Amino acid sequence: MMGLSKGSKPNTIKEALLSIERISTTHLVVGIDMAKETNMVQETNYRGIVLTNRHHSFSNNKEGFKKQQRWI
pLDDT tens digits for range 28-71: 888 889 899 999 999 888 888 898 888 889 999 999 999 888 88
Confidence band, pLDDT 50/70/90 cuts, at residue 6: low
Q: What ranges do the domains of the chain cover?
A: 25-71
CB-based contacts of 18, cutoff 8 Å, min separation 6: 3, 10
Q: If you compute the radius of gyration of the chain from its CA atoms, what whole number of angstroms results?
A: 14
Distance, CA of 1 to CA of 15 (rounded, Å): 11
**Contact yes or no for 55/42 (Cβ under 8 A):** yes
Rounded to an integer, the average pLDDT of 6-24 is 75
Rounded to two decimals, the pTM is 0.57
Which amino acid, one-letter code, is at 43?
E
pLDDT over threshold 90, residue 14? no
3-state helix, strand, coil in the chain (%, to 5): 25, 25, 50
